[in-house]
Structure 1
Amino acid sequence: MKDVQKERDLRNIAIDRVGVRDVHYPITVMDPLNGTQATIASVSMSVLLPHEYRGTHMSRFIETLEEYKGKVSLTTLRVLAEHLCSKLDASEASIKFDFPYFVRKKAPVSGIESFMRYEASLEGISRGSEFDMKVGVGVPVQTLCPCSKEISRMGAHNQRAFVRLKVRSSGLVWFEELIRAVEDASSTPLYTLLKREDEKFVTERAYETPRFVEDLARELTMALDRDDRIVWYDISVTSAESIHRHDAFAELVRDKRS
């Protein structure tokens, strides 16, 4: 049959990224407690399309994914990206997995355990002999307003916030380590299951640890700067303000190598 995608294109325009996204696929990722964890990812895969090709072969992206049967690790991520380059005759390929990641979490006083859901991501880009990888987490937390606490006779407004963190590292960094760094920088972590004694503790901790979005971003920056494995990071904090119609946010990107 005629290979239409391989037809010569005379417009002389290369396309930075061509591929498939939002492919839902079962995967297995590394878990420091249980060895592995099964989850479902939304997968995006793309290649740089040279100017001379009319299109790329979309089916080959899925074929590549099938070859690895959803086993995702730092090693297979690189192999997958490099295999995409080879299979699609491309000089650059990227692959990204976004997925829910579950952690068994103890309530702070009662110690009762429950599953807590976080968001996680693994992203790899292969360019010739170079490979670039980012590890990411999305973490819900609570923030309590320092200004509200200072000026109010009783109480202070507090709200749920969401932190997205991506890092490049020189060694293995577990999702749990990134999650812990984010939660430690917040007014208080969130929990799935709390008893009354836990609720009291969480409420009081938030009041004793007020955080603007700026504070949270800076506290997290200080923690990441202390970790020699992390060479680059991207922090985004969004607070769903409880007394405002709008959200508040703070973002920063740092490259420790420069």
Structure 2
Amino acid sequence: MRLNNHLDDVASSTSSHCGTLSWVGMEGIALPLQVAGQMIAARASAGVSLDDPEARGIHMSRLYLALAELEHQELSLANIRSVLDTFLNSHLGLSERAFIDLNGEALLRRPALISPLSGWKTYPFALRCRRNATGLQSILEVSVGYSSTCPCSAALSRQLIQQAFEEDFNDIPVDREAVHAWLGSDQAILATPHSQRSHAHLTLRLTPDIDEMPFLAVIDRIEKTLGTALQTAVKRIDEQAFSLANGQNLMFCEDAARRLHNMLSNQPTIEGFSLRVVHAESLHAHDAVARSEWNWETQP
């Protein structure tokens, strides 16, 4: 059978069931992206509104092909804006709004605390962008893991250590060498605070006038604010430094949420956010959770 080079555009035809639709497009598109200098395997959803009530459908292949612009350069809001403009320009008279959602795991090399070692960590993220006549609206979602040590359990552990010290030195003259030796013995470590792997889940509304993706800067600020970022490759000196960081950053979930709230509300690239921190308790069989929002009632 010989193929016909002239094919009718069925999508541009009208039918008795035409009308406007808020979103038409594709979901789950495989798409390579470059984030923070590393190529990752991502998934994209792309669409436009169908505002012409007489049109039967949109041109989905035009959306798919336009996404190729994101493949070969660092992901940025300027590039997203350009692709969304291409969506709309290729659907003149059909669509007034365009959408892109990207999901993936950014791959970042993170250094050890003290030693020269380093390793890779993944950071799940989503970027949700909307383009209309008023401009670009962008929502960045990111999850960051950290360690949290319970202040209550730390206080209870200190109390037990004090009691053990009183019992062991009740009838013994206290001198510096004896105390030093006792602190390095098993008797002094009869109780330890409980810690847990924790996660901060952030949804950030970015200011509309920025071109670069503030992804790496946001990650760095979150980990610096919490002070106990999860580690990759470590030596014993790094593990000791991590123990010190946990001891100096005792946190209930409320403390972590307030730290992040105060930091995020002062970032010039963020105009609103919603955050949720989860401490996966090692004492209880349930999680401890805290939430906070700032300028979030006007989210798109």
CA 55–212 in structure 1, closer or farther in 2 if over 3 Å, else same: farther
Question: Which residue number corresponds to residue 16 of structure 1?
Answer: 22
The code of the aligned residue for 2:285 comes to R
Question: TM-score, normalized by length of structure 1?
Answer: 0.84
Q: Matched residues in 2 for 1:118 and 1:155: separation?
A: 30
Question: Which residue number corresponds to residue 188 of structure 2?
Answer: none
1:141 Cα deviation (Å)? Answer: 1.1
**Richer in strand (by share):** 1
Matches within 5 A, 1:143-162: 143-152=148-157, 153=160, 154-162=191-199
1:117-152: CA deviation from partner (whole Å, max 9, x where unpaired) = 223343321012411123343211112222333344
Matching residue within 188, 212, 224 for 1:184: 224
Is structure 2 residue 32 aligned with structure 1 residue 26?
Answer: yes
The code of the aligned residue for 2:109 comes to R
User: Is the contact between residue 120 and residue 175 of structure 1 (CA under 8 Å) also seen in structure 2?
Assistant: no
Matches within 5 A, 1:201-216: 201-216=241-256
Question: Which residue number corresponds to residue 172 of structure 2?
Answer: none
1:29-78: CA deviation from partner (whole Å, max 9, x where unpaired) = 4x4xxxx4322211111222337244433333212113554533221110
Q: Percent identity?
A: 26
CA 248–47 in structure 1, closer or farther in 2 if over 3 Å, else same: farther
User: Is the contact between residue 142 and residue 161 of structure 1 (CA under 8 Å) also seen in structure 2?
Assistant: yes
The code of the aligned residue for 1:118 comes to Y
Question: Which residue number corresponds to residue 203 of structure 2?
Answer: 166
1:90-139: CA deviation from partner (whole Å, max 9, x where unpaired) = 11111122222222222112232222222334332101241112334321
Is structure 2 residue 86 aligned with structure 1 residue 49?
Answer: no
Matching residue within 61, 66, 76 for 2:68: 66
The code of the aligned residue for 1:158 comes to S
User: Is the contact between residue 142 and residue 201 of structure 2 (CA under 8 Å) also seen in structure 1?
Assistant: yes
Question: Which residue number corresponds to residue 186 of structure 2?
Answer: none
Q: Matched residues in 2 for 1:148 and 1:51: separation?
A: 63
Matches within 5 A, 1:31-110: 31=36, 36-50=37-51, 52=53, 53-71=55-73, 72-88=75-91, 89-110=94-115
SS at match of 2:193: coil
SS at match of 1:116: strand
Q: Matched residues in 2 for 1:50 and 1:203: separation?
A: 58
SS at match of 1:155: coil
Question: Which residue number corresponds to residue 138 of structure 2?
Answer: 133
SS at match of 2:32: strand
Q: Matched residues in 2 for 1:208 and 1:66: separation?
A: 47
Q: Matched residues in 1 for 2:273 and 2:51: separation?
A: 31
Unaligned segments of structure 2, at least 5 residues: 1-6, 161-190
Q: Matched residues in 1 for 2:47 and 2:284: separation?
A: 40
Question: TM-score, normalized by length of structure 2?
Answer: 0.73
Question: Which residue number corresponds to residue 167 of structure 2?
Answer: none
Is structure 2 residue 262 aligned with structure 1 residue 222?
Answer: yes
1:2 Cα deviation (Å)? Answer: 4.6
User: Is the contact between residue 31 and residue 71 of structure 2 (CA under 8 Å) also seen in structure 1?
Assistant: no
Q: Matched residues in 2 for 1:173 and 1:3: separation?
A: 38
